[in-house]
Structure formats: C-alpha cells, structure tokens
Amino acid sequence: MLNFSLKQLSALLAAKKISSAELTGEFLRRSRTLNPDYNAFITIDEEASLAQARAADIMIAAGRAYPLTGIPVAQKDIFCTRGWLTTCGSRMLSNFVSPYDADVVERFNAAGAVNIGKTNMDEFAMGSSSETSFYGPVKNPWDTTAVPGGSSGGSACAVAARMTPAATGTDTGGSIRQPAALCGISGLKPTYGLVSRYGMIAFASSLDQGGPMAKSAEDLALMLNVMAGFDRRDSTSLQREPEDYTRDLEKPLEGLRIGLPKEYFVKEINDDVARAVEAAVAEYRKLGAKTVEVSLPTTKLAVSVYYVLAPAEASSNLSRFDGVRYGYRAPEYTDIDDMYRKSRAQGFGAEVKRRILIGTYVLSHGYYDAYYIQAQKLRRLIAQDFAEAFKLCDIIMGPTSPTVAFGLGEKSSDPVRMYLSDAYTIAVNLAGLPGLSIPAGFGEKNRPVGLHIVGNYFAEAKMLNVAHQYQQVTDWHIRTPVQLES
C-alpha cells in the first residue's frame, strides 16, 4: 500500500477498504521507524494528523470526498501552518508557531488532505543538499551517505522512503526538481504565479514558486489541481481559469517536438547522467516524439545572474527576522543594535549569512548598476532564449542535475561548486517557466538520475502528459530503495 498511487489510495478510501485514520497511522508508523535515520521531518504531530484524518473520514462517510480527501501530504517547513511549528529549517524560527495558514495549506485543508508532518529543508531554502538545516542534514534513502538534494530534501526523502504518498516543495533555483531527481521521485515547479506565495516564507520573491512532489506525474497532476489557483493576497498570483491538470495525461505523444539544447550536453555533464538522459530521449522517440536541436546560449550565465538576484531579494526578505516581534532573540545584548547583531549572528547559519552579505553588497550604492541592473537585463535575455527555443519545439529536455547525488559533506566547503550544479534548473526560474523532473534510471553507485522537462508558460498539463506517457512504459518511478522494500 505504501507504493500505491494517489488514485489507488483514493479508491481504497472511497471503497471504505481502509479509513484515513488507518492510512495516516500506517505512514506515521513508517516515519517513526525511518525518520530518526533520515531526518526528513522537522515536526511530526501524530495527534494533529490523526485528528485531521478522522475529520476526513467523516467527509468520506458523508459522501463529500474530493480526490485527495483523507490522503496524507507532507508540508515543507517553509509553508506557514496554523498551530504547527514553522521553522524554515532555521534556528531563527525554531520557536515560531504560525498563527495562520499559507494559501497552499488552506487549499490542502479544504481538500480534506491530512498534514502528515513538516519536512526538513535547507535553511530558508538556501542550498542544494539539505545540509544547511538547523535541524541537521537529511539523508538520501537510496544511499544514506549521500545528500537528498535541496532545498526540499526532506520532502523528496519522505516521498522516496514512502513516509508520505506526496509532499509540497518550493523551488527558487531548482529546490523541487533537483532533490526529486536525486531521490528518484517526480517534482514539478509550476509557472511563476500559478501557486500562491502567501504564507510561503520568502527567499527570493521573484523566483520562489511552490509545487508538488510525488511518485508519479499522475500524482503531481492531482496535487497541482489542489495547489494552483488565484489568490488575491499574493499580488504576483495570476488570475486564470482553473484547469484540470489530469485532463491530458493519456494523450499520445505522436508528433511531439522535443528540443535538446546543445549547451546542455557538454563536458559539465557526467557520463552516467548523460547516458540515462539519452536513453530516456530514445524512449520518447519510440513513443512517436521527434527531437530537434535548440540553443540556449545564455545557459552559462544563469548561475551568475541567479546569485546576484536571489541574494539581493533574500537580503531584504530576511530583514524582518530581527528578534523584535517573534523568532529567535539572543539571550544577552547591550542595546538595540547589539540585539540585532547577536540575534541574527546566532539565529542564522553560515549559508544564509553568506547570501545576505552577497545580496547586501550587490544592492549597495555604487554596485547596484553593475550587479543588480545588469543581472535584470540578462534575466530578460535568458527568457528570450527560451522563447526562441519554443518556436522550434513543444518541450525542452535535459538532465535535471549534471551529476547523481553527491556525498554528505562533499561540497559543503565549496559553495561555488555547489551553486554550479544547479545551472539547468536555475534558468527556468529566471524565465518564470514551469519545470518538471522525473526519474529516468540510475547512474554511478546506483543513485537516481532525473530527466528535466521544461515547458512553455502554463504548459503544465502538456508536461505532465509527456511525463505520464514515459511512466506508462518505464518503471523507474515505482522503484524503491532496496533496504526499504517491504
């Protein structure tokens, strides 16, 4: 049952073969066993989860069940959740119990889903390995000496280890797709503005986007049906007609034009990853798709642009964590400035401080034009590159990450090397496009490889269709780590 899809679980619940309380209990038991090792969750509150499950059972009994009613969903600890500790992986918010629900949390609550716990993450979503959390690193279930990726590493780990059927994540530069790839699950970053950012603790506002993480494309579609939608509390939320993201899943791929950017398949990519991606593309050809070479010449600039803009916004977004109204406050200080200094010095970890410093620097008088303004111009060029490419193809494919999961501690002393591994995903955030990662086999040390599928704006249904058809003829997405097979 732990391997069941959301649709299968929903059918079991509807047929009263199992109650939500039983189902929730099952996943909670698994977390109780595995989480001490994997550290995927920061907070598990069995009572709260079971209370929600019992409420869901009443909805089901009354014949008022939605597709996700009674199904456990883990929430990344970046989403404010009323009555739950919401830490963002930081000591700064290690005492923060949110008085309100994020829009995403409200939507899952309204859908009758059960919050199965708050997942671990890189502190304030800054990182690609889930090692910067105040609550300690998350392990990769495929190999506990490897990182799960980040920043949504807790969600990816929890889904991969079957501690939850599905989870939420957020993606600023690849934080959903890269951990999904490294943990062998599916993850979608929607078009910027599709999912409300209200109640999602901001890292870089113009790039942040929430999205679903689950085993399969079909599960992602069901999750996105709940998460997407206009929210007047977020001024960057888009007002569009609601869509059913499952509607195109079964469409054949005959005639699909897959763009392969020539800049993606160069020396930076590891052979094992390249082989897996090429095999996946070959599978698509069998499904009737055609491939075309496209060019994204600004790809190599994406990381530099990102590491100007994201820290700039972050340095300002994180100013509110000053120890005055909530959150961590240093125990001893002499005056207000000393209180700011000590609270922030003690409350933030090294990576967060590094990015606040970078961001403060690039926004400073005399540097703003050279860095921030220049980066904004390049950001537009990156979006134009994609626009050109989409004239030639329907979908762009490549590796999600140039390597499989790296070892714990391996890159934490070399931040730039860590940053560079996000080149493929980052450009998509800069352009505001949707991006999807699905499992596409295994590379070195039998660690998972992710296939990156990028669509045009609002092409989520198409991308999910493309991913789903692949998952109909492959089984990578339903494989589980050996030691977890039950």
Partner 1 sequence: MQWEIVIGLEVHTQLSTQSKIFSGASTAFGAAPNAEACAVDLALPGVLPVLNRGAVERAIKLGLAVRGKINSPSIFARKNYFYPDLPKGYQISQYELPVVEGGSVRIQTGHDGNECEKTIRLTRAHLEEDAGKSLHEDFHGMTGIDLNRAGTPLLEIVSEPDMRSSAEAVAYAKTLHSLVRWIGICDGNMQEGSFRCDANVSVRPRGSDTLGTRCEIKNLNSFRFLEKAIDYEARRQIEILEDGGAIHQQTRLYDSDKGETRAMRSKEDAQDYRYFPDPDLLPLEIPESWIAEVKSRLPELPQQMHTRLERDYGLSAYDAASLTADREIAEYFEAVVDKLPSDPKLCANWVMGEISAYLNDEGRFFGDCPLSPGQLAQLLARIKDGTISGKMAKEVFRQMWLKAGLIGKQATAWKGRDSQINENLADQIIESQGLRQISDSGELEKLVGEVMAANSKSVEEFKAGKEKAFNAIVGQVMKAAKGKANPAQVNEILKRKLME
Show which residues are catalytic: 76, 151, 175
Binding to partner 1 in span 112-131, by CB under 8 A: none
User: Taking CB under 8 A as the rule, does residue 205 contact partner 1?
Assistant: yes
**Are 116 and 74 within 8 A, CB to CB?**
yes
Binding to partner 1 in span 65-104, by CB under 8 A: 79-80, 86, 88, 93, 96, 98-100, 102
Which run of H or E residues covers position 456? none
User: Taking CB under 8 A as the rule, does residue 324 contact partner 1?
Assistant: yes
CA–CA distances in Å: residue 459 to residues 256, 394, 435, 453: 13, 9, 10, 11
Q: Does the bond joining 413 to the residue before it have cis omega, within 30 degrees of 0?
A: no
Q: CA–CA separation, 298 vs 384, rounded Å?
A: 9
User: Taking CB under 8 A as the rule, does residue 262 contact partner 1?
Assistant: no
3-state class (DSSP) for residue 1: coil
Query: How many residues are present in the chain?
Result: 486
Nearer to partner 1, 234 or 283 (CB): 234
Q: CA–CA separation, 4 vs 215, rounded Å?
A: 9
Residue 419, CA atoms < 13 Å, CB-side half-sphere? 18
Number of H helices, E strands in the chain: 16, 11
Nearer to partner 1, 100 or 388 (CB): 100
For the CB of residue 173, give the shortest distance to partner 1 in the complex, in Å. 15
User: Taking CB under 8 A as the rule, does residue 235 contact partner 1?
Assistant: yes
For the CB of residue 48, give the shortest distance to partner 1 in the complex, in Å. 19
Binding to partner 1 in span 278-317, by CB under 8 A: 312-313, 315-316
> Which span sits near partner 1 by CB under 8 A: 64-72, 195-203, 211-219, 465-473?
195-203
For the CB of residue 309, give the shortest distance to partner 1 in the complex, in Å. 9
Measured at the alpha carbon of residue 432, what is the angle toward residues 195 and 189, in degrees to the nearest 5?
50
Nearer to partner 1, 88 or 260 (CB): 88
Nearer to partner 1, 199 or 450 (CB): 199
Of 200, 396, 433, 451, the one binding partner 1 (CB under 8 A) is: 200
Binding to partner 1 in span 366-425, by CB under 8 A: 368, 372
For the CB of residue 418, give the shortest distance to partner 1 in the complex, in Å. 24
306-339 burial, b at 16+ Cβ within 10 Å, e below that, comes to bbbbbbbbbbbbbeebbbeebbbbbeeeeeeeeb
Tell which phi-psi region holds residue 282, choosing left (phi > 0), alpha (psi between -120 and 50) or beta. alpha
For the CB of residue 225, give the shortest distance to partner 1 in the complex, in Å. 23
- In the chain the first and final C-alpha atoms are separated, in Å, by 10
User: Taking CB under 8 A as the rule, does residue 236 contact partner 1?
Assistant: yes
Nearer to partner 1, 50 or 363 (CB): 363
Of 363, 381, 383, 420, the one binding partner 1 (CB under 8 A) is: 363
Pairing label, strands 448-455, 435-442:
antiparallel
Binding to partner 1 in span 332-361, by CB under 8 A: 336, 340, 360
Which run of H or E residues covers position 336? helix 336-347
Nearer to partner 1, 102 or 195 (CB): 102
**Are 460 and 245 within 8 A, CB to CB?**
yes
DSSP string for 395-429: EEEEESSSSSPPBTTSSTT-HHHHHHTTHHHHHHH
Of 95, 145, 319, 483, the one binding partner 1 (CB under 8 A) is: 319
For the CB of residue 345, give the shortest distance to partner 1 in the complex, in Å. 14
Nearer to partner 1, 267 or 325 (CB): 325
Nearer to partner 1, 355 or 477 (CB): 355
User: Taking CB under 8 A as the rule, does residue 202 contact partner 1?
Assistant: yes
Measured at the alpha carbon of residue 20, what is the angle toward residues 3 and 155, in degrees to the nearest 5?
50
Of 325, 334, 369, 486, the one binding partner 1 (CB under 8 A) is: 325
For the CB of residue 389, give the shortest distance to partner 1 in the complex, in Å. 25
**Applying CB under 8 A, what is the total number of residues that bind partner 1?**
44
Query: Which two structure tokens, joined as six digits, stand for 445?
Result: 């040390």
For the CB of residue 161, give the shortest distance to partner 1 in the complex, in Å. 28
Q: CA–CA separation, 207 vs 187, rounded Å?
A: 17
Q: CA–CA separation, 413 vs 410, rounded Å?
A: 7
Q: Name residue, tokens 């490889």.
A: 449
**Are 39 and 75 within 8 A, CB to CB?**
no
Binding site for partner 1 (CB under 8 A): 79-80, 86, 88, 93, 96, 98-100, 102, 197-202, 204-206, 232-236, 312-313, 315-316, 318-322, 324-326, 336, 340, 360, 363-365, 368, 372
